[in-house]
Amino acid sequence: MGNTFGQLFRVTTFGESHGGGIGVVIDGCPPRIEISETEIQRDLDRRRPGQSKLTTQRREEDRCEILSGLFEGKTLGTPIGILVRNKDARPEDYREIARKFRPSHADYTYEAKYGIRNWQGGGRASARETIGRVAAGAVAKKILSALYADFELVAYVTQVHEVAANVDRSSVKMSDVEKSIVRCPDPAVAKEMIALIEKVRKSGDSVGGVIECVVRGIAPGLGAPVFDKLEADMAKAMLSIPAAKAFEIGSGFGATRMLGSQHNDPFETRAGKIRTATNNSGGVQGGISNGEQIYFRVAFKPPATIALEQKTVTASSEQTKLAARGRHDPCVLPRAVPIVEAMAALVLCDHALRQNAVQL
């Protein structure tokens, strides 16, 4: 259990980092949506390793094959199966971790949960699993674009370690983000971030940061009042991304230091529409979208895999030491940007269909 996401637009992923491949089945996709392998590949390429000097040099083309659910370039309404083969397997890189638990990885917890694990590269805990999410997210974005004329979804790196960007949330575009390999739309700060990540890599260490995501053009009315609040489903989506440690929507933790009179978003009429003058709510009130820009932030920890030697224990509880060999990302944020986008799109697409269902 736990490998399916969504109520109506249902995404089920499968696959380990080593083995036949990684895939996804999308059930509940509306029919007659135009989508192609090329469009899906575009997002997969933004996620794949080896795309820049900042990422792991593991060489994976991550070429996707659509197995089902399409006919003559359009969705059939039937499940869309997508497969990406694993290629660059070097199990010899992983012999050591077959018996040593890597600190802050999932090795020990998998062993505790399942009594068995595929120790070749992290198995199911590998970030390769997110390939399926990104592929499904590409489909979700097409649906959202079909539903909302002004739909825009932009995620970007706002902070790496102590280096923080200055981004105008209301105007930032994906093209601004894609200009730098670190996916930060503030050009000067992007350079600093890149330099920092390279320095951290050379030192054998790793570093975390923050991704912000903004969504524009979503109609009021998406979400649900109680458990499936839009921000609740978004929080789950984001915390389900590997290495995510925190989520805040709108004012977030900052809200705790404001008075109600400062935090409330007064309603006003603009261009004939009911709007809010400020947007501390982050586009969601009472769990339901209010038509304003939705925005939130996700905190990522530094990757657990580092080249520096660390203390740990073996599967038989003996004290030992471990230093990662081979290829790894010193900072996951640039590659996590399309994953954040994808998960946000999955949540919104699911809620859009849910809202559609009860419009008689």
Q: Please, are residues 213 and 185 in contact by the beta-carbon 8 Å criterion?
A: no
Taking CB under 8 A as the rule, does residue 48 contact a copy of itself?
A: no
Q: Does 149 bind a copy of itself (CB under 8 A)?
A: no
Residue with tokens 């940007």: 337
Residue among 175 and 321 whose Cβ is closer to a copy of itself: 321
In 3D space, the residue among 22, 41, 136 whose CA is nearest the CA of residue 87 turns out to be 22
Residue 80 touches a copy of itself, criterion: CB under 8 A: yes
Q: Which of 42, 53, 59, 67 is the binder for a copy of itself (CB under 8 A)?
A: 67
Which residues in the 114-133 window bind a copy of itself by CB under 8 A?
114-118, 123-125, 129
Beta bridge partners of 269: 274
Structure tokens belonging to residue 202: 């050379």
CA atoms of 185 and 175, how far apart (whole Å)? 9
Binding test (CB under 8 A) with a copy of itself, winner from 140, 147, 184, 348: 147
225: contact with a copy of itself by CB under 8 A: yes
Question: Which residues ranging from 15 to 34 are in contact with a copy of itself (CB under 8 A)?
Answer: 15-16, 19-23, 25, 27-32
Q: Is 91 in the site for a copy of itself (CB under 8 A)?
A: no
Instruction: Decide whether 3 or 51 has the Cβ nearer to a copy of itself.
Output: 3
Q: Which two tokens stand for residue 274?
A: 């009911």
CA angle 236, 238, 240 (to 5 degrees): 70
Told to check if 205 binds a copy of itself by CB under 8 A, we report yes
- Beta carbon of residue 175, minimum distance to a copy of itself (angstroms, whole number): 26
C-alpha separations of 141 from 39, 135, 192, 229, 284 in Å? 10, 10, 31, 20, 20
List all residues 6 or more positions away from 178 whose beta carbon is below 8 Å from its beta carbon. Answer: 46
Nearer Cβ to a copy of itself (173/192): 192
Number of shown-chain residues binding a copy of itself (CB under 8 A): 159
What is 145-174 written as a DSSP string? HHH-TT-EEEEEEEEETTEE----TTT--H
The answer to the question of residue 224 lying near a copy of itself (CB under 8 A) is yes
Examine residue 237 and tell whether it contacts a copy of itself (CB under 8 A). yes
Instruction: Examine residue 56 and tell whether it contacts a copy of itself (CB under 8 A).
Output: no
Whole-angstrom Cα Rg for the chain: 21
Q: Which residues pair with 126 in a beta bridge?
A: none
Task: Select the residue interacting with a copy of itself from 50, 103, 217, 326 (CB under 8 A).
Answer: 103
- 249 contacts a copy of itself (rule: CB under 8 A): yes
Give the position of tokens 């290495």.
243
- For position 323 contacting a copy of itself by CB under 8 A, the verdict is no
Which C-beta is closer to a copy of itself: that of 175 or that of 256? 256
